[in-house]
Amino acid sequence: MAEEESQFEEFEQIDFLGDRHVRFFQRTLQVLPERYASLETTRLTIIFFALSGLDVLDALDVIDRNTMIEWIYSLQVLPTEDQANLSRCGFRGSSHIGIPYSTKGPGVLHPYDSGHVAMTYTGLCSLLILGDDLSRVNKQACLAGLRALQLEDGSFYAVPEGSENDIRFIYCAASICYILDDWSGMDIQKAIEYIRGSLSYDSGFGQGAGRESHGGWTYCAIASLCLMGRLEEALSQRELDRIRRWCIMRQQSGFHGRPNKPVDTCYSFWVGATLELLDVFQYTNFDKNRRFILSTQDRLVGGFAKWPDSHPDPLHAYLGLKVHPALNITQRAFQHVQQLQQTWRGSTGSCSRHLCTFAISK
């Protein structure tokens, strides 16, 4: 009986349950279910999903910004007195290594403490979202830590001790350089070569050369080139048209990430944002996409799931909402970073054409 009723309810209206999502993100920031335990090492990314989600929903007031800002700064891997660890600086994912809590330097030397490129990226974004001016970020240390992660072939490791290396971390690096307004953090030309080398026979991007095309890696490639301001230099018109075609064919109702795979909420962002950066989002069927996303909405606890009738999680909950396509933050947060950059430079910011012309209203 209960099941029939709830199905009937769903039939009546597929509406957007803003309040439930706010509460979902609030809970994400407080306590997570046990099955998330393995994500402890990447906790900062979960926080980012929740914070940016609340930002999109215009509900950041439900949290204590200052406490949150302090906690994020406590994750910064700062240089030690003698600066011996400069190439390991950045932000860490959480306190799981056991470094004593501190929001100011000098850093503490620990053999296994280092920044992680995705944590540095989400850490900086989170601070921006909370309205922080990044004045306590040790920019030079972050950039030194970033340089240490780039390989000869242009891709990046996630951590200085080594890890897998691929196009995801190029995106993180490009975002970091963009936010800090300082491209000395990476060798752009090498990164572009790696990106181009990842272009597959069907004009999607793989994680690296010879690897299968995928919506997520295509996003990383295109967004990185946009952030660098090199999209039309790095790719010819013909290549861009073919990439557009590959992306457009990902829409089934919502989007999938690869041919012959089921649709998944998060690809509405990865592929949708790519299409927007390539100026052809108007080729998609907005209505079908929206209906699919709303069908993955959890009407009880809030949030969005990967598929209908699955558990919602912060990543899909966040990517089901709409944000700035290149930096993956709200327009408000994006404007904040532009203003900051103006004060740093003392002149008008000069972002690439693709980033300036977005006027996404919520």
Binding site for another protein (CB under 8 A): 34-42, 96-98, 111-112, 116, 158-159, 161-164, 189, 192-193, 196-197, 199-202, 207, 209-214, 232-239, 246, 248-249, 251, 258-261, 264, 280, 282-285, 288, 305-307, 309-311, 313-315, 353
- Taking the complex as a whole, the smallest distance from the CB of residue 356 to another protein amounts, in Å, to 10
Q: What are the distances in angstroms from CA 229 to CA 72, 253, 356?
A: 29, 32, 11
178 CB-near residues (< 8 Å, 6+ apart):
227, 228, 327
> Which one, 230 or 332, has the nearer CB to another protein?
230
> Which one, 235 or 321, has the nearer CB to another protein?
235
- Taking the complex as a whole, the smallest distance from the CB of residue 199 to another protein amounts, in Å, to 6
- Taking the complex as a whole, the smallest distance from the CB of residue 233 to another protein amounts, in Å, to 6
- Taking the complex as a whole, the smallest distance from the CB of residue 66 to another protein amounts, in Å, to 29
SS3 115: coil
91 touches 120 (CB < 8 A): yes
Phi first, then psi, for residue 299 (nearest 5°) are -75, -20
- Taking the complex as a whole, the smallest distance from the CB of residue 310 to another protein amounts, in Å, to 5
Q: Which of 250, 247, 249, 253 is nearest to 308 (CA)?
A: 253
Q: Which amino acid is at 162?
A: G
> Which one, 207 or 330, has the nearer CB to another protein?
207
> Which one, 147 or 196, has the nearer CB to another protein?
196
28 touches 308 (CB < 8 A): no
> Which one, 49 or 73, has the nearer CB to another protein?
49
Q: What are the distances in angstroms from CA 10 to CA 40, 291, 295?
A: 35, 12, 9
Q: Which amino acid is at 54?
A: L
d(CA 191, CA 150): 9
- Taking the complex as a whole, the smallest distance from the CB of residue 264 to another protein amounts, in Å, to 8
Total residue length of the chain: 362
Instruction: Write out the two tokens for 70.
Output: 């302090």
> Which one, 180 or 243, has the nearer CB to another protein?
243
SS3 76: strand
d(CA 192, CA 298): 40
199 touches 191 (CB < 8 A): no
- How, if at all, do strands 76-77 and 156-157 pair? unpaired
- Taking the complex as a whole, the smallest distance from the CB of residue 351 to another protein amounts, in Å, to 13
Total Cβ atoms within 10 A of residue 342: 13
> Which one, 134 or 280, has the nearer CB to another protein?
280
- Taking the complex as a whole, the smallest distance from the CB of residue 245 to another protein amounts, in Å, to 8
- Taking the complex as a whole, the smallest distance from the CB of residue 21 to another protein amounts, in Å, to 17
286 CB-near residues (< 8 Å, 6+ apart):
none
Inter-axis angle of helices 117-129 and 331-345, to 10 degrees?
100
> Which one, 1 or 37, has the nearer CB to another protein?
37
> Which one, 136 or 245, has the nearer CB to another protein?
245
